[in-house]
Amino acid sequence: MPYQQIKEAIPFKSPPAENLHVIVADDDPLQVEYIAALLQGMGFRCTKCLDSESVLGFIQDTDAALLICDIEMPGLNGLEITAKIRSSSVDRYIYIILVTARNIEGDYEAGLAAGADDFMLKPITPALFSIRVNVARRILNYQSELVQKTNSLMKANQNLQQDLLAAGKAQQAILPQKGLNSRFYEVTHIFEPSHYVSGDTYNFFLLDHECIGFYAVDVAGHGVRAALLAATVSHIVDQELFNSMTFDSSVTDYSPAKLAGELNRRFCISNAADHIAYFTMICGILDPIKQKLTYCQSGHPRPLHITKSGKNYWLGEGGFPIGLFEQSEYTNQCCDFAPGDRLIVHSDGITEAMNSELVSYGEQRLLKLMLRLPEDGLEDLSNILINNLQHWTCEQELRDDISMIIFDYKSNCHD
């Protein structure tokens, strides 16, 4: 469990003080020995340097985290060494204390401006020295705790992402893997989660007498919570259930409203009072012999019907979503669906995509885009749609899950 990992991975302990490795730099060997002796007395490891070049070398090659450096050095002086370290890409924070014997006005400011953390005047007294070094140690400890926490958060985040990625793949796997190409119909579909997993789901089946049954679901909200419910719906509504739930033996015809009613009954029961999980759905049946579409719209965006001659209709007057109210009633609606006609079912992630002025992409823009689709095939549908939405919202990432199914009644199927 990722949360557990985060808790365990963060140790709230400081690294032991003996581990602190200090570089002492001064061109006066006596001074170096003196400071080194003080540090060793405090239990620290020490590296002694008499020139500026070896300071930079030791910073690169050792794990030293504290530098105590004299300002007046031959070659690069202490200020220049400080500036060099700060502009270099050392993989850890180096705490720098500058030391000077000259009390020149401006040295203190110049030292801090160059990136030093502290400043000491010679002669160095053991009492004050040990207080200053302990301050350094405390800050370096905070620093290393911060690094450790960041690392473990990154690791935990990586685990979460891998989990989500795997969940996304699992979800893709329960969707139809490819379109459907029957004697009468051709079905194309696209699925784009906004963030690894999606609250959208759908399926379509070839039923008896060359009919096609389909449903599309959009769970309220998005992310993992919505995806869990979407996956549940996908598993419940398989071809067998779809067939048995939509077929009304009393009138020997399909009734998608029956399926909506049954799902509503099931999902209302499982709803908690403080969090309502619900979804919108459209389900329907295309009958090639009657050349008819029967559908039940349960709060899902209106599907678009484009006839062979180019007339277009937004279908349906709305309906209750599934899982909100036990007493909701669902009704069937019908329309002609003839050879050459196209039906476009989509989720609201498309029409509700908003630009910076809070204007939705809307049905009219979607209609225009759908009328401009290439005649020779829909292979590029996903790219076309996503490019359009990105252009509209001026954002790379989708804010909501997107899905679309296109049903084409082939024009030449009765030849």
Binding site for another protein (CB under 8 A): 218-222, 273-278, 280, 299, 301-302, 317-321, 324-325, 328, 348, 352, 354, 358, 360, 400
Q: Between residues 320 and 407, which has the closer beta carbon with respect to another protein?
A: 320
Q: Between residues 97 and 277, which has the closer beta carbon with respect to another protein?
A: 277
Token pair 């009633």 in the structure block, residue: 329
- Distance CA(245)–CA(251), nearest Å, equals 14
Q: Between residues 159 and 360, which has the closer beta carbon with respect to another protein?
A: 360
Q: Between residues 317 and 415, which has the closer beta carbon with respect to another protein?
A: 317
Q: Between residues 2 and 221, which has the closer beta carbon with respect to another protein?
A: 221
Shortest Cβ distance from residue 294 to another protein (Å)?
A: 19
Q: Which of 114, 118, 109 is nearest to 85 (CA)?
A: 114
Q: Exposed (0-12), middle (13-18) or buried (19+): which is 10, by Cβ within 10 Å?
A: middle
- Distance CA(132)–CA(120), nearest Å, equals 9
Shortest Cβ distance from residue 295 to another protein (Å)?
A: 14
Buried b (16+ CB within 10 A) or exposed e, 76-97: bbbbebbbbbeeeeeeebbbbb
Q: Which of 72, 39, 45, 41 is nearest to 58 (CA)?
A: 45
Q: Between residues 219 and 370, which has the closer beta carbon with respect to another protein?
A: 219
Judge whether 208 and 236 are in contact, CB under 8 Å.
no
Shortest Cβ distance from residue 18 to another protein (Å)?
A: 49
Q: What angle do CA 213, 308, 255 make, to 5 degrees?
A: 25
Shortest Cβ distance from residue 2 to another protein (Å)?
A: 21
Judge whether 204 and 187 are in contact, CB under 8 Å.
yes
Shortest Cβ distance from residue 140 to another protein (Å)?
A: 40
Q: Between residues 103 and 327, which has the closer beta carbon with respect to another protein?
A: 327
Token pair 């024009």 in the structure block, residue: 411
Shortest Cβ distance from residue 360 to another protein (Å)?
A: 7
- Distance CA(255)–CA(233), nearest Å, equals 19
Q: Between residues 222 and 342, which has the closer beta carbon with respect to another protein?
A: 222
Q: Which residues, 6 or more positions from 256, have their beta carbon under 8 angstroms from its beta carbon?
A: 215, 246, 283, 284, 285, 294, 295, 296, 332
For 83-172, list the strands marked E by DSSP: 95-100, 118-121
Kindly give the pairing relationship between strand 304-306 and strand 180-181. unpaired
Q: Exposed (0-12), middle (13-18) or buried (19+): which is 69, by Cβ within 10 Å?
A: buried
Shortest Cβ distance from residue 364 to another protein (Å)?
A: 13
Q: Between residues 263 and 324, which has the closer beta carbon with respect to another protein?
A: 324
Shortest Cβ distance from residue 275 to another protein (Å)?
A: 7
Shortest Cβ distance from residue 359 to another protein (Å)?
A: 9
